[in-house]
Amino acid sequence: MDLSFLNELNESQRSAVEYTEGASLVIAGAGSGKTRVLTYKIAYLLKNGMAPSSILALTFTNKAAREMKERIAAMVGEKTARYLWMGTFHSVFSRILRSEAERIGYSKNFTIYDSADSKSLVKTIVKELKLDDKVYKHGFVQSRISYAKNNLITPDAYLANADLIKADVTSRIPLMKDIYQIYCNRCKQADAMDFDDLLLQTNILFRNHPDTLQKYQQLFGYILVDEYQDTNFAQYLIVKKLAEQHEKICVVGDDAQSIYSFRGANIDNILKFKSSYKNARVFKLEQNYRSTQTIVNAANSLIDKNAQQIRKTVFSEKETGKPIKVLSVFTDFEEGFIVANNISDLRFSDKYHYQDIAILYRTNSQSRVMEEALRKQGIPYRIYGGLSFYQRKEIKDVIAYCRLVCNPNDEEALKRIINYPARGIGDTTVNKLIECSQLHAVSAWEVLSDMLKYNLPVNAGTANKLAQFRSMIDVFAEQITTQNAYDLANSVVKVSGVIADTYTDHSPESMSRQENVQELLKAIHEFCETKQANGEPTALLPDFLSEVSLLTDQDTDKETDKDKVTLMTVHAAKGLEFKAVFIVGMEEELFPSPFCTQSERELEEERRLFYVALTRAEELCYISYAKSRFKNGKTNFSNPSRFIKDIDEQYLDMPAEAKPKQARINDWDDDMETERNRFKSSFSKPIFKENSLPVSPKRMVKISNSAGDKVPTENGSIPTGAFVKHGIFGIGKVLETSIVNGNEKADIDFGEKGVKSLLLKFAKLEVLE
């Protein structure tokens, strides 16, 4: 047996890998080779003769699972790696739930409701109960339901819990308990589970069927859990039960990177691991192999401000590295411009490829400005998150058809497509149908199957349309087991008229919808082929659905996405690393999020989130904040984030004070001046860039409401028509100069490189005589 790969580990990593006797907790600081420990440990178990099918490895994302599997396959061979139980909690247990579904009253082909389905269901229930949806906001109701499920509180238990009932009365939503009850009933009736159900129902399965639990206890000889700091109670208990007998379990995590409490993650799971598993051994990985000393030290100084944490000393032995550059800008628009400029500089320095660079932000909505700026400068990028492929309308429509075919009880799918494409079944009819189905406590489909029996109050014409719709779905449903997924999906989109509907005109939107539908069909085709190549039985439509419902667009990496700048939220960046990282929008009211500044606990989580962002960087890290930002159709003023002050300033490259303030205040109107003062007092550091061009008071303009307002200038620092030289674009001719939000901007024609809009403050231009 060749175990030489163990020599590639440091001492603490190696002891964590080699300890397989009992429970172990690996506290892994950022960049300390956590994934390496997990992969090597699995390889070590395999080389020691453990069967791959008895190893359960739970990860946080599908992507993490896939990458780990690939790395293991490279070490022990693809054939062995294939049989590992590796995936997210949700995907592994949905698989188990499918094979055990009958035991808990679901069918094998149960639907998985995504958050949009849950939201829609919550809204219908609130409406049916004739409650005010401004009081019973779907977001709040949803999170309340999610909270209950994550803590394994069933509707009955909810009802019996005086604290919860009291809390709801105080929050003026006393009927919360009823909504929860009805929500669960409706899911059950639709043969559907939401994301939280996948964990809750697994617990119910294990609780009510000890023999089933035992079966899996025996199956899983060793359990590994990644990102343990982000597990919730439901996940904790599943793991705890499965490992009960042998305690052959290894969990890996970093309390400093716990950033999912809004999803029910309980940091206590990792903090109290030793009391859950009495004989647990703890390994600490403290050497950071990812980042420069400056970045590691800066991150340490930040996280030090958190009271709640397991103290550890993360250190780096890499070079000192450059200080973190803090960029101060006037608008979000300019922020994009400057970040894009810096990226160009990095790219042309030849030390960095686009793929080495990431832009991280707190909210998805910030991606737009960045995107625009990158596009203007011709920088290729790839956005993760936001509206993913599977959330597009046309894709959801097709998927809804497929879902209904596989599970006719799926109410959300039915509502979505019963009148798409339009077939004369309007809201009134649908409402009657749903009402009738609730009256008889059956699914809407059941009513459709026998409209007379359930006395559906519709006229003959409508009844006919409904019957037509029903028989169309019926025909498809009969083919579930005979046709493969691709063939069936193909006839669904044709016969249903979805294809015809997307072909209505030649507008770009219509074209893109067609492409998306084709793309989806292609994906189904590929799915079938992969299954076949693996020697599995024919891939059926339900198989595809069960896989696709847990997929996010992070899982659809394409070859063409190779050398591109990455744009994503900080949450999505967890576990990733980049040579250079730009953390943008470091402002109060944004990062930390205003929703998270109520309690110290939430604030500490935001700080950890910033910690995660910082520690993604290997060599260079930039932080930027704008003084005004376009948000919800309005321009808002903002102050730098309090978190910047939390970093020891010796690691920062702060913008230095450029001008005495009197020179700058002159032309600002009263409003603006108070804003400015508020800004200054909240942040003791100087706010103007050292090397910014002197701007005379005469040319200062107040920050306008629309980001793009510009004031033409006659005699800027550079005359119109002059020739200038730029480090990247070469020689160009100045077409026009203007002041945009107080900054001199020049439109310059660089010939083949195109016309560029550059802020003179930042562009290094040489005027040619």
Partner DNA sequence: GTAAGAAAAATTTTT
Partner DNA sequence: TTTTTCTTAC
Nearer to DNA, 572 or 765 (CB): 572
CB proximity list for 180: less than 8 A, separation 6 or greater? 144, 145, 148, 155, 158
- How far is the C-alpha of 302 from the C-alpha of 135, rounded, in Å? 39
The answer to whether 235 contacts DNA (rule: CB under 7 A) is no
Element (H, E) at 678: helix 670-682
Rounded to the nearest whole angstrom, what is the least distance from the CB of residue 497 to DNA in the complex? 12
Judged by CB under 7 A, does residue 220 bind DNA? Answer: no
Residue selected from 309, 491, 554, 720 as contacting DNA according to rule CB under 7 A: 554
Residue the block writes with tokens 């950890």: 608
CA atoms within a 13 Å half-sphere pointing along the CA-CB vector of 657:
11
* Residue ranges in 624-653 that form contacts with DNA under rule CB under 7 A: 630, 632-633
**Which one of residues 267, 572, 644, 760 is an interface residue with DNA (CB under 7 A)?**
572
In the numeric block, the tokens 């030489």 are attached to: 4
Binding-site members for ATP are 28-35
Going by the DSSP 8-state scheme, the letter that residue 391 receives in this structure is G
d(CA 393, CA 423): 18
CB of 706 to DNA, least distance (A): 8
Site mask, DNA, residues 447-466, x = CB under 7 A?
---------------x----
Q: CB atoms < 10 A from the CB of 381, how many?
A: 21
Least Å distance, CB 124 to DNA, is 10
Residue 365 binds DNA (CB under 7 A): yes
Q: Is the dihedral of CA 584, 586, 588, 592 positive or negative?
A: positive
Residues 658-687 that bind DNA (CB under 7 A): none
Is the CB of residue 548 less than 8 Å from the CB of residue 541? no
Q: Encoding tokens for residue 407?
A: 């599970």
6-33 burial, b if ≥16 CB within 10 A, otherwise e?
eeebeebbbebbeeeebbbbbbbbbbbb
Q: Distance between CA 29 and CA 444 in Å, rounded?
A: 52
For DNA, the closer of residues 229 and 341 by Cβ is 229
Nearer to DNA, 364 or 479 (CB): 364
Structure tokens at 157: 């238990």
Cα–Cα distance, 27 to 356 (Å, whole number): 27
Which is closer to DNA, CB of 246 or CB of 631? 631
Q: Which amino acid is at 43?
A: A
At closest approach, how far in Å is the CB of 87 from DNA? 8
Binding residue positions: 28-35
Q: How far is the CB of 763 from DNA (least distance, A)?
A: 27
Q: Is 61 in the site for DNA (CB under 7 A)?
A: yes
Q: Which residues, in sequence order, are bridge partners of residue 620? A: 580
Q: Give yes or no for residue 341 binding DNA (CB under 7 A).
A: no
> Is 112:82 a contact under the CB 8 Å cutoff?
no
Instruction: Mark residue 689 as left, alpha or beta (left: phi above 0; alpha: psi -120 to 50; beta: remaining).
Output: beta
Q: Which is nearer to DNA, 20 or 552 (CB)?
A: 552
Is 168 in contact with 141 (CB distance < 8 Å)? no
| Least distance from DNA to the Cβ atom of residue 604, Å | 13
Q: Which residue in the set 569, 641, 692, 737 belongs to the binding site for DNA (CB under 7 A)?
A: 569
Q: Which of 299, 596, 746, 748 binds DNA (CB under 7 A)?
A: 596
479 binds DNA (CB under 7 A): no
Question: Any idea which residues carry the catalytic annotation?
Answer: 34-35, 226-227, 257, 616
Binding-residue pattern over the window 387 to 406 for DNA, x denoting contact by CB under 7 A: x-------------------
Q: Which is nearer to DNA, 88 or 109 (CB)?
A: 88
12, 32, 39, 62: which one binds DNA (CB under 7 A): 62
For DNA, the closer CB: 318 or 571: 571
Distances (CA, A) of 178 to 140, 195, 479: 15, 20, 39
Q: Which of 10, 491, 593, 717 touches DNA (CB under 7 A)?
A: 593
E strands of 473-616, at which residues? Answer: 565-569, 578-583
CB 263, min distance to DNA, A: 5
The SS3 assignment for 287 reads strand
Rounded to a whole number of angstroms, the minimum distance from the CB of residue 231 to DNA is 11
Verify binding: residue 123, DNA, rule CB under 7 A. yes
* Shortest CB 259 distance to DNA, Å: 7
Give the separation between CA 547 and CA 40, rounded to whole angstroms. 27
Spatial distance between the Cα atoms of 112 and 192, rounded to a whole number of angstroms = 6
**The residue to which tokens 């950022």 are assigned:** 30
- Judged by CB under 7 A, does residue 134 bind DNA? yes
Tell the burial category of 525 from Cβ atoms under 10 Å away from its Cβ (0-12, 13-18, 19+). middle
Closest CB to DNA among 360 and 652?
360
Query: Is residue 428 near DNA by the rule CB under 7 A?
Result: yes
364 binds DNA per the rule CB under 7 A: yes
Residue 465's SS3 state is: helix
CB closer to DNA, 443 vs 462: 462
Residue from 41, 415, 571, 616 in contact with DNA (CB under 7 A):
571
Does 443 interact with DNA (rule: CB under 7 A)? no
Cβ 158 vs Cβ 180: under 8 Å: yes
Bridge partners (DSSP) listed for residue 169? none
Distance (Å, rounded) from C-alpha 84 to C-alpha 71? Answer: 13
Residue with tokens 């590929």: 526
Nearer of residues 61 and 342 to DNA, judged by Cβ: 61
Of 348 and 503, the one with the shorter C-beta distance to DNA is 503
Q: 14, 98, 108, 137: which one contacts DNA (CB under 7 A)?
A: 137
Q: Does 556 bind DNA (CB under 7 A)?
A: no
Q: Could you give the angle at the alpha carbon of 7 between the alpha carbons of 4 and 11, nearest 5°?
A: 145
- Rounded least distance, CB 432 to DNA, Å: 8
In the complex, least distance from residue 686 CB atom to DNA, rounded to whole angstroms: 30
Q: Is 426 in the site for DNA (CB under 7 A)?
A: yes
| Per-residue binder mask for DNA (CB under 7 A), 74-93, x = binder | --------------xxxx--
Q: Which residues pair with 527 in a beta bridge?
A: none
# of chain residues touching DNA (CB under 7 A): 48
The 696-735 site mask, x for binding DNA (CB under 7 A), equals ----------------------------------------
Cβ 656 vs Cβ 306: under 8 Å: no
- Residue 139 in contact with DNA, rule: CB under 7 A: yes
Applying CB under 7 A, which of residues 550, 567, 644, 724 lies at the interface with DNA? 550
735/461 Cα distance (integer angstroms):
67
Chain residues 254-293 in contact with DNA, contact rule CB under 7 A? 259-260, 262-263
CB of 553 to DNA, least distance (A): 8
602 Cβ partners below 8 Å, 6+ apart?
261, 595, 596
Q: Cβ of 345: how many Cβ atoms within 10 Å?
A: 14
Please say which residue, 427 or 669, places its beta carbon nearer to DNA: 427
Told to check if 694 binds DNA by CB under 7 A, we report no
If you search the block for the tokens 């500044």, which residue do you land on?
597
Q: Which residues of 709-748 are buried (b: 16+ CB within 10 A; e: fewer)?
A: ebeebeebebebebebebeebeebbbebbbbbbbbbbbbb
* Contact set with DNA (CB under 7 A): 60-62, 88-91, 114-115, 123, 134, 137, 139, 195-196, 259-260, 262-263, 362-365, 385, 387, 419, 422-429, 462, 550, 552, 554, 568-569, 571-572, 593, 595-596, 630, 632-633
